[in-house]
Amino acid sequence: MGILEVKDVGKRFGGLQALGDVNLDVAENTVHAIIGPNGAGKSTLLNCLVGKLIPDTGSVMFDGQSVLGRTPYQINQMGISRVFQTPEIFGELSVLENMMIPIFAKRDGAFRLQGIDNMMGEKDIVEAAEKMLVDMNMADKREMHAAAMSRGDKRRLEIGMCLAQEPRLLLLDEPTAGMARADTNNTIDLLKQIKEERDITIAIIEHDMHVVFSLAERITVLAQGTPLVEDTPDNIKGHPKVREAYLGE
Ligand code: ADP
Ligand code: MG
C-alpha cells in the first residue's frame, strides 16, 4: 500500500476531459516521476492532490486518509508540501527571512508577512531557519535579497521552504523548467541529497528526461489524461508505447 493512492480520478474542464481514470500508487520513501507530453494532465493531477482542484470522480488517499474535501492548507498540514512550477518566494525579503516564514507558519498555524521584523527576535525560529539554510548549502546567501538570486538558487530556497514544513510527501511540478544545465544538475544533486538525508517520499513531474532518469525509482507515463504505463526507469526507456507516445519515435 502506497503513502499516496490515487484511484479512478477524473477531472473535466467544460468539454475537455483533462484526466480520465487516473490510478497512481506512490510507495513510501521512493522517488516517483510522472512524465508525459504537454497538456497530458500532469499539473491538473497535482492540483487534485493538493486541494487546488477537486476531482469530479475517484479518490485520493494520503497515508490512509482522504484528502478530498480538505482545503490546501489542511492537506499541507497532513504532510504534503508542493513546489510550484514558478518559484514562489518573497523577492523583497532576505533569504533568511524567506526561510523563517514556513517555520513560523508551522509553529503558529498562520502565515503572515506582517511582523517579519518581530520574527527576527524569535531566536528559535532564526536558528531553525539558519539550520535549514545550512542543509540547503546556502548559508552564505542568508542576507541576500531573494530576488537577486539565480533561478537555480531561488528553486533551492523554495525547496528548502517546503522542507522546513517537514512534509512526508514532497510534490514538485517541473522543478528544473527554464533552468540552465548547471542549475538543473545542482537541483538533481540537491534532490538526491534530500532523499538520502530524510524520510521523505518525492513525487516529481518533469519534462527533462535527464532529470527523470537521474532520480526516479518508478515512472508513470501520462498521456491524454490517462496513465499509459507505470514501470521502472529501465523498462520505461525501452517501452515501445512510451517511445511512440512520448519520446516521439
Ligand atoms: P500538463 O501539466 O501535463 O502540461 P495540464 O494539467 O496543465 O497539463 O493540462 C491538461 C489539459 O487541461 C490541457 O489541455 C489544458 O489546456 C487543460 N486545462 C488545465 N487547466 C485548465 C483550466 N483551469 N481550465 C480549463 N482547461 C484547463
Ligand atoms: Mg504542467
Question: Do the beta carbons of residue 32 and residue 212 sit within 8 Å?
Answer: no
Note whether residue 176 is domain-resident. yes
Note whether residue 13 is domain-resident. yes
Cα–Cα dist 150/138, whole Å: 12
Note whether residue 175 is domain-resident. yes
- The domain tally of the chain equals 1
pLDDT at 51 over 60: yes
Ligand index nearest the alpha carbon of residue 13:
1
CATH number of the structural domain spanning residue 239: 3.40.50.300
Q: Mean pLDDT over all residues of the chain?
A: 91
Mean pLDDT on 44-50: 96
43 Cα to the center of ligand 2, angstroms: 4
Instruction: State the pLDDT confidence band at 86, using cuts at 50, 70 and 90.
Output: low
Q: Please enumerate in sequence order all residues whose Cβ is within 8 A of that of 68, keeping only pairs 6 or more positions apart, or say none.
A: 54, 55, 59, 60
Note whether residue 136 is domain-resident. no
Instruction: For the sheet with 57-62, list strands across it.
Output: 16-26, 4-13, 57-62, 65-66
Note whether residue 79 is domain-resident. yes
Mean pLDDT on 76-99: 86
pLDDT at 115 over 70: no
Q: Which cell numbers in the block locate residue 17?
A: 476531459
SS (H, E, C) 50-101: CCCCCCCEEEEEECCEECCCCCHHHHHHHCEEEECCCCCCCCCCEHHHHHHH
Per-residue model confidence as pLDDT tens digits over 8-35: 999 999 999 999 999 999 999 999 999 9
Note whether residue 49 is domain-resident. yes
What is the number of the ligand 1 atom nearest to the C-alpha of 40?
3
Closest CA to 28 of 221, 198, 178: 198
ipTM, 2 dp? 0.98
Is the C-beta atom of 36 inside 6 A of ligand 1? Answer: yes
What is the number of the ligand 1 atom nearest to the C-alpha of 53?
23
pLDDT at 204 over 90: yes
Q: b/e for 77-88, b at 16 or more Cβ within 10 A?
A: eebbbbbbeebe
223 Cα to the center of ligand 1, angstroms: 12
Is the C-beta atom of 47 inside 6 A of ligand 1? Answer: no
User: At 54, phi and psi to the nearest 5?
Assistant: -110, 120
User: At 181, phi and psi to the nearest 5?
Assistant: -55, -45
pLDDT at 178 over 90: no
pLDDT at 151 over 90: no
User: At 227, phi and psi to the nearest 5?
Assistant: -65, 125
Domain limits at 75?
4-89+151-245
pLDDT at 248 over 60: no
Is the C-beta atom of 48 inside 6 A of ligand 1? Answer: no
Is the C-beta atom of 20 inside 6 A of ligand 1? Answer: no
The Cβ of residue 188 has, within 10 Å, a number of other Cβ atoms equal to 17
Cα–Cα dist 180/129, whole Å: 27
pLDDT cut 90: percent of the chain above it: 73
Instruction: State the pLDDT confidence band at 87, using cuts at 50, 70 and 90.
Output: low
Is the C-beta atom of 115 inside 6 A of ligand 1? Answer: no
End-to-end alpha carbon distance in the chain: 34
Task: Name which of 57-66, 133-142, 161-170, 237-246 the model is least confident about.
Answer: 237-246
Task: Name which of 48-62, 109-123, 170-184, 186-200 the model is least confident about.
Answer: 109-123
Q: Please enumerate in sequence order all residues whose Cβ is within 8 A of that of 109, keeping only pairs 6 or more positions apart, or say none.
A: none
Measured over the CA atoms of residue 117, residue 122, residue 123 and residue 126, the dihedral's sign is negative
Note whether residue 64 is domain-resident. yes
Q: What is the DSSP letter of 145?
A: B
pLDDT at 27: 97
Note whether residue 129 is domain-resident. no
pLDDT at 224: 92
Mean pLDDT on 40-60: 97
pLDDT at 108: 73
